[in-house]
Structure 1
Amino acid sequence: MPSATKPNKRKKRKRCGDGAWPSSSAFNRRVFPILLAALRSTRQTQHRHGADSTVARLLRRALSCSPPSLSPLPGSLVALLPLLLTSRGHLADSAVLPSILYLFSQVESISGITDSKSTDCSQSACKANKSFYLIIDTVVLMLNSCKVDRLHNLQQDLVRKVLRLLYKIWKKVGILGLSTDCINSKNQLQSREHDISEAIFRLSVDITYAAHMEPDEVRRSIFGQLVSDYENFLLNYWEKSTYLRTSKKKNLEEDSVFTSLLNGFDPKTPDTIIQSLVNGIVSCPAIASDELDISSFLREVQGSLGTTVKYRQDIRVVRTRNQCDQTSRSYGVEEHFFDDGITFQDADAFVEKCKDAFQNGFSVALRGMEFRSEKIAAIASAVADLFGQPSVGANIYFSPPRSQGLARHYDDHCVLVWQLLGHKKWTIWPNAKLLLPRLYEPFESLDELVDSGGRMEVLLEGDIMYVPRGFVHEAHTDVDVGELQANSTADCSLHLTLAIEVEPPFEWEGFTHIALHCWTEKHWSSAFLKSEVDDQTSLFALLLHVAIRLLSEDDATFRKACMVAAKLPPSSSCTRTHLKALESNQRSIFDEIIKKVDKSCNFKETLMCIEIAVKEKNDEPFQWMSWLRHLPKRGDADDKVDFCNILGALEELLEAVSCNLEQTLAEFTDFKSRFCRYVVYEDARESFEMLLQMYRTTRNQYMRGMLALHRKHENWLV
């Protein structure tokens, strides 16, 4: 008689995944050995794909559990993660990272830990928090081990939730770091402040934010409602002369851009303004002008993101006092309240010192406001679009009555000054030289740049003034209003400057280099190049690049901003005429430049400049060419110039032309003439806009990351 059951049948092993996160011991028995074996196998064989897939599959399976009561990752996995992440190029492509971020976002208990003001670091408290510290360490480690572009596809709702928690944890770790009683608790969390700040930065670079402004909206606020106002500014004032637009109080109340700016500060008293400016800010490390890879920037500043502000780099607290020289000529000398390079570890004490300095006649000048305020970031981005530039800087200046902050000076960038509160008197001297100063060039002495005929302007609340680069200026709040009232903003001055920096690729010289590059690439294999000088095409192009640079040293047109990519107002029947005039102006400038290249580029002068650099092994005069490496290349890259090793290319050029200078001169002249005859403006414009977009992408990523660290973006996190 058959038995009702089979006595030898083995019981099915209960599978994990239906509501039960595997215990740490179960993970150690089943998953951990396989992960370790997979990791070791990739070090012993060239066939990595199978082991990578095994690791990703195991982690996905482990993380697919959705228990009602979430538990931390096993400590053994967290210990193995650094090795897994640094050994697996595509591990972050799997579902592992989103799963861990989701797990992290669901742990409500973390909010309790971070929101608590308690510094209880007892053994029992540390033991209770240890599991959450493991999850935090895992999230921070995975984010910082992941390539930034791998984070693009994360759901923004998930990103916001994670950012909320990370920001709270970051601030909490900062508090613990100041408390000697909490060393034990801090040591439970392996991630340090700079690790968490980097994770916040990385996770924020592609998040969208609410405070967006259209360029046309900002145009109307700065230049007036009519398109003709903007056209008049571009054609008659831009990089030529100062410009002042006064505002009526009624118009200011209706100006949403100005209102959004003013609402970012607390204008009750000078102390409240300083508090709103300085409290909670962190340092904004510089990003290289031609850096187009945010990951490269992160490697460069590793360990320094989120650090306290650094004097002169981020902030200046300065006043200028007049002195006389031996000829009784008066000149201003800047006095700084803090020493150069000092950092401010105690944020509260730093704020109080800034308040004291203000009471003693010092102005507070804060740089990088586009990285510290979402509203200012939105305005700066719109102005950058408006002028067709990669980015626009923003500084804020707060000055007490009867004072002068910065001494008389000129800038290497154009400035829009926006008076937010109070009033300020400006004296401006026109640029005595025709050539505009360039970014990164050394500044000249002011002795020959000013005379007694400076123009005086008083800016009232809402007024906007444009100062071109190279125009010497100084500003005072010197109206005598009696004793300074400690609790009043009367006769103080608060103004914002928008710095339109024209970087090398986006001058007209840069546009000409791009045009030459496009023409050379497009016609690389064309019939007219099929000759014995085929192999020298890239060298002739390099020679012409250098010749164009030399020509631009003494020609003002090459230094002006190229605005072919400016985001002009939407076309309509009433604006079309103005738009055509602006576009025609840009095209005519390009035609004028090409004629100068054809007529004036000097072969022998260019060759002499290259010979000197090669002989002295000095590539400094050619560092300006580094940005050309970002332009797209066709064909065999081995035949192209390596702009990262420009001396090698110049040596090759000299060797190629030294055999027969007269023949080379004739061939170069023919090459130059063909370029000037056949170059296509539209091709150069298309490449110019592509390069501009590449620059903007990196700058915007940096801006979003820094805004996240300042948390001046509450709308992101709702």
Structure 2
Amino acid sequence: MKKKKQQHAEAAYAKRKRKRKLKPSGSALLSLEGSDSNSIFGLLLASLSKHHRPLINKCLLTIRPSLLSQSSFTPILALLPALLSSNCSEIACRAADIVGAASLVSLEANEQVASDSQALKGLISLLESPKRKVLLSACNAVLDLSATTFGQRQLLKFYALEKLMFVFLQIFKCVESVSLWSEGNRSFGSLKIGIKEDEVSAGFVSATVTLINTCEVEQLQSIPRSLSDAFLRLLKELWTKVSDQVVMKAAVKYNEGGYLCKSNIGVSNLAEAIFRLSAYAGQLTVSMPFEVIKAGLFGTSESSFEDFLSNYWEVSPFLLQGTVNDPDVYDMFSPFKKSLSWTGCAPSLISSILHSLVSCFPIASDELNIFNFLNEVKDRLGCPIIYKQDIRVVKAEWQSRKEMHYFQDFHPGCIKEPQYFMIDDVLKCVQAYKEGYTIALRGLEFRFQSIAAVAETLALMFGQPSVGANLYLTPPNSQGLACHYDDHCVFVCQIFGSKQWTVFSQSSQLLPRLYDDLNGSDIDYTKAGKREFFLKEGDVLYIPRGFPHEAYTTSGDGSPEFSLHLTLSIEVEPPFEWEGITHFALHCWGENQKRPCFDGLNSLSHKLHLVSVNLLHVAIGIIGNLDPSFRKACLTAAFTLQPDVYNRISQCQKNYFLHLVNKVRTESRFLEVLNSIEVAVQKNEDPFQQIRWLWVHLENGTSDVYKNKSSMIEDILSLCDQHKDELEAAFVNLISRFCSEVVFEDVVTRHMLLLQKYSKIRKQYIDGMVSLHDKL
């Protein structure tokens, strides 16, 4: 027994002796600093095989600074998977540091590191470590890798984003610890997010938001819904805290004492991440039932909507007196009213409505990719509302009928662009209101989910991509906007108080088009006929586009003297006017027809055909500019109506379409078209501007009719010069074939798909913006 104990003791001593031999002396460790990379790599490889942690750490410490001068990382890359999976947290941290350092040496080095799938998987696995020191090193390495597009794609490919989101949900503790910091002038663009005394959470905010904001559509949609929803809720909690600080100008300057751990994520970065997750979350805003909107705007009878379309739509004003006291009719604005801090006095509504609003930057009407919009507003998304873009504070003088802007007069010569609305400006709005100014706020459908629900249903009813909603709060005995007319139809919905309206007869039979320049449009009040309407709470007044109108508050019938009303705007985009659908019908017919046999793509007959199609587009535009019927809204895409209602409306639409096609047949003139193109070229204008939307939607298509516009104009001029008679014959023949062969039902089917393209982007925009305003 004694002998066995002695043998064990001798074996243990020998083992410790072997370890001491392996452990280099202090001078040996210092000598590593002068060694070349190959020697260090060899020593690191040997120490890995012996699991010698001190020597591994020393090698890693020596290697990291030398990475800046390396042209290839292949040797160390081969060892990174083993180093990153080490049970020793110090080794794992230093390995992660090496990944980060190598990623920042050059674009080529970044790509080399990011291409190593095993190293990448090892790094991402560290994001689940229970040790915060390891988490921080791994997170910083992920940030370094994401400095390039390739690195971002690789991280997303191996699900780094999902891992970051999941871990951040576990480690982040307190929204109250979030503050803003600025090293500069505290302008909106310089404000960044800091987390008090929590370096790991600050790093995870930076890494997660960075990757979210680099995702493509498929990557956003592939995130598990439960994870995306949970993380979105947390981001919105952060956003509520941050946006309140922005409006209050509460940015704190970063102090060196470490009170605030700063991230590199700005306010706009956080807003973009929320916008992206919300835009692809699906059904954040849900439309209101059809019957509720129909009863609230058109009345409760079965045929009320059809009667409106037949007798008033784009023809004449229409008044529906309030149904808010009818127990059988649901007030569609009830959720909106409940969201307001209404204490019985109008000034209390101002702070309630304007508090913590963000700017809703306009999106192009023909935009088909929400990421294009996000790229345009980078570094600005999420900023406070901007004067004249989002809000106006205005009143019309009684005698001159001119509008005065409170903030221009209040800050003469000192207006900066953009003029963000901070808390001080909100307080000044209260004073402006007391002085007779109206508060006009644009884009309520982007700011209140309850309004978005109303707007979405109304858009579907009229077969349009979207409906706008503006708010107007007017003090007693005052007029906000001067007399004007709009390029869109409006439903004036009286929410609180009352208002007197005067609607004049339209000055032209041609309805104004969306985006027409209406400035300088004179209105002759002495000759125009007019109608008076007094709106009380719950009343709705429809005003067609092109009808001049003005409104002011009175104390009639003992009702409150102030007014809060919303306008719901039916904005008819070019593709959804009758001229637009005629252009679209020509395109659909061209795609569906049995193609004639040509001698080749460059043959004369083929060129004559292509040019004739485009000449007919110009002819349709000429007719549409002069004929009122081509400017009216088309409802062929209103397929959400009840089947019996839709069938009746559809038959009327078909008859109208055939009427317009016949006009194209009889009124298209070859010489008039040529002259129009020549004049446009001389003025350096685009003769095809009216169908720009068609090129946008078909630019990725297969049709060669709509390819290069400049070469198309050259072909037209060349053929006119050399083959004018042949071109005219081809043009006449094309008109005859199109008008005889076009099928209304085929056009309607394709038109509905076009509406869905438009509506998809608008829905994503609304969901993103509403989410930024939805305070949890």
Structure 1 range deviating more: 107-116 or 689-698: 107-116
Q: Give the SS at the match of 1:552.
A: helix
Task: Give the match for residue 588 of structure 1.
Answer: 655
Matched, 1:315 2:391: yes
Deviation track 1:408-467 (CA, whole Å, cap 9, x = no partner) reads: 000000001111111111000121321100011122523347636310011111111110
Within 2, Cα distance between the matches of 1:126 and 1:633? 46
Letter of the aligned partner of 1:681 in structure 2? F
Residues 173, 186 of structure 1: 8 Å contact kept: no
Aligned residues: percent identity? 35
Q: Which residues in structure 2 correspond to 1:51-90 (within 5 Å)? A: 51=115, 53-54=117-118, 57-63=121-127, 71-72=135-136, 74=138, 76-89=140-153
Matched, 1:598 2:661: no
Structure 1 range deviating more: 127-136 or 172-181: 172-181
Task: Give the match for residue 546 of structure 1.
Answer: 618
Distance 1:345 1:584, change over 3 A: closer
Q: Give the SS at the match of 1:227.
A: coil
Deviation track 1:370-401 (CA, whole Å, cap 9, x = no partner) reads: 11111001111111111110000000111111
Within 2, Cα distance between the matches of 1:636 and 1:211? 36
Within 2, Cα distance between the matches of 1:397 and 1:21? 64
Residues 22, 62 of structure 1: 8 Å contact kept: no
Structure 1 range deviating more: 692-701 or 256-265: 256-265
Residues 344, 350 of structure 1: 8 Å contact kept: no
Q: Which residues in structure 2 correspond to 1:333-372 (within 5 Å)? A: 333-339=402-408, 347-372=422-447
Task: Give the match for residue 546 of structure 2.
Answer: 470
**Once the 2 structures are TM-superposed, how far is the Cα of residue 703 of structure 1 from its aligned partner?**
1.0
Picking from 118, 127, 131, the partner of 2:200 is: 131
**Once the 2 structures are TM-superposed, how far is the Cα of residue 151 of structure 1 from its aligned partner?**
0.9
Residues 459, 570 of structure 2: 8 Å contact kept: yes
Distance 1:247 1:79, change over 3 A: closer
Letter of the aligned partner of 1:337 in structure 2? Y
Task: Give the match for residue 265 of structure 2.
Answer: 191
**Once the 2 structures are TM-superposed, how far is the Cα of residue 708 of structure 1 from its aligned partner?**
1.8
Matched, 1:629 2:699: no
Residues 523, 548 of structure 2: 8 Å contact kept: no
Letter of the aligned partner of 1:105 in structure 2? L
Task: Give the match for residue 213 of structure 2.
Answer: 144
Residues 145, 151 of structure 2: 8 Å contact kept: no
Q: Give the SS at the match of 1:474.
A: strand
Q: Give the SS at the match of 2:500.
A: strand
TM-score (norm: length of structure 2):
0.79
**Once the 2 structures are TM-superposed, how far is the Cα of residue 355 of structure 1 from its aligned partner?**
0.8
Distance 1:480 1:628, change over 3 A: closer
Task: Give the match for residue 588 of structure 2.
Answer: 518
**Once the 2 structures are TM-superposed, how far is the Cα of residue 706 of structure 1 from its aligned partner?**
1.2
Distance 1:373 1:252, change over 3 A: farther
Picking from 501, 505, 508, the partner of 1:433 is: 508
Picking from 742, 752, 756, the partner of 1:689 is: 752
Within 2, Cα distance between the matches of 1:700 and 1:112? 32
Within 2, Cα distance between the matches of 1:43 and 1:378? 50
Distance 1:10 1:154, change over 3 A: closer
Task: Give the match for residue 61 of structure 2.
Answer: none
List gaps (5 residues or longer) in structure 2. Answer: 1-6, 19-47, 54-79, 182-193, 409-414
Within 2, Cα distance between the matches of 1:78 and 1:353? 46
**Once the 2 structures are TM-superposed, how far is the Cα of residue 612 of structure 1 from its aligned partner?**
2.4
Residues 449, 472 of structure 1: 8 Å contact kept: no
Distance 1:48 1:599, change over 3 A: farther
Letter of the aligned partner of 1:710 in structure 2? H
Deviation track 1:131-158 (CA, whole Å, cap 9, x = no partner) reads: 2111111112111222244212323432
Q: Which residues in structure 2 correspond to 1:116-515 (within 5 Å)? A: 128-170=197-239, 172-173=241-242, 175=245, 178-182=250-254, 188-207=262-281, 208-209=283-284, 211-251=286-326, 254-268=329-343, 269-323=345-399, 331-339=400-408, 347-443=422-518, 445-448=521-524, 451=527, 453-479=529-555, 490-515=560-585
Within 2, Cα distance between the matches of 1:706 and 1:503? 21
Residues 212, 378 of structure 1: 8 Å contact kept: yes
Within 1, Cα distance between the matches of 2:528 and 2:140? 75
Matched, 1:654 2:717: yes
Distance 1:232 1:53, change over 3 A: farther
Q: Give the SS at the match of 1:543.
A: helix
Residues 450, 472 of structure 1: 8 Å contact kept: no
Letter of the aligned partner of 2:169 in structure 1? S
Deviation track 1:204-246 (CA, whole Å, cap 9, x = no partner) reads: 1122326541334322322123331100001111011111111
**Once the 2 structures are TM-superposed, how far is the Cα of residue 320 of structure 1 from its aligned partner?**
1.0
Task: Give the match for residue 485 of structure 1.
Answer: none
Picking from 628, 653, 664, the partner of 2:727 is: 664
Deviation track 1:304-329 (CA, whole Å, cap 9, x = no partner) reads: 11112111110111111122xxxxxx
Structure 1 range deviating more: 359-368 or 214-223: 214-223
Picking from 136, 159, 166, the partner of 1:95 is: 159
**Once the 2 structures are TM-superposed, how far is the Cα of residue 614 of structure 1 from its aligned partner?**
2.6
Residues 431, 449 of structure 1: 8 Å contact kept: no
Within 2, Cα distance between the matches of 1:28 and 1:68? 10
Residues 523, 529 of structure 1: 8 Å contact kept: no
Residues 200, 709 of structure 1: 8 Å contact kept: yes
Task: Give the match for residue 21 of structure 2.
Answer: none
Structure 1 range deviating more: 530-539 or 608-617: 530-539
Within 2, Cα distance between the matches of 1:652 and 1:248? 61
Letter of the aligned partner of 2:689 in structure 1? Q
Distance 1:430 1:262, change over 3 A: same
Letter of the aligned partner of 2:386 in structure 1? K
Letter of the aligned partner of 2:298 in structure 1? F
**Once the 2 structures are TM-superposed, how far is the Cα of residue 280 of structure 1 from its aligned partner?**
0.9
Within 1, Cα distance between the matches of 2:88 and 2:639? 58
Structure 1 range deviating more: 229-238 or 471-480: 471-480
Task: Give the match for residue 558 of structure 1.
Answer: 630
Distance 1:634 1:28, change over 3 A: closer
Within 1, Cα distance between the matches of 2:132 and 2:179? 23
TM-score (norm: length of structure 1):
0.85
Matched, 1:104 2:168: yes
**Once the 2 structures are TM-superposed, how far is the Cα of residue 636 of structure 1 from its aligned partner?**
5.1
Residues 38, 55 of structure 1: 8 Å contact kept: no
Letter of the aligned partner of 1:547 in structure 2? A
Residues 195, 261 of structure 2: 8 Å contact kept: no
Letter of the aligned partner of 2:695 in structure 1? R
Distance 1:533 1:351, change over 3 A: same
Within 2, Cα distance between the matches of 1:141 and 1:220? 47
Within 2, Cα distance between the matches of 1:606 and 1:446? 31
Q: Give the SS at the match of 1:592.
A: helix
Residues 195, 260 of structure 2: 8 Å contact kept: no
Q: Give the SS at the match of 1:431.
A: coil
Q: Give the SS at the match of 1:309.
A: coil
Within 1, Cα distance between the matches of 2:234 and 2:700? 46
Within 1, Cα distance between the matches of 2:116 and 2:663? 59
Q: Which residues in structure 2 correspond to 1:2-17 (within 5 Å)? A: none
Q: Give the SS at the match of 2:551.
A: strand
Residues 319, 335 of structure 1: 8 Å contact kept: yes
Distance 1:532 1:293, change over 3 A: same
RMSD: 3.7
Higher Rg: 2
**Once the 2 structures are TM-superposed, how far is the Cα of residue 617 of structure 1 from its aligned partner?**
3.2
Letter of the aligned partner of 1:609 in structure 2? S
Task: Give the match for residue 326 of structure 1.
Answer: none
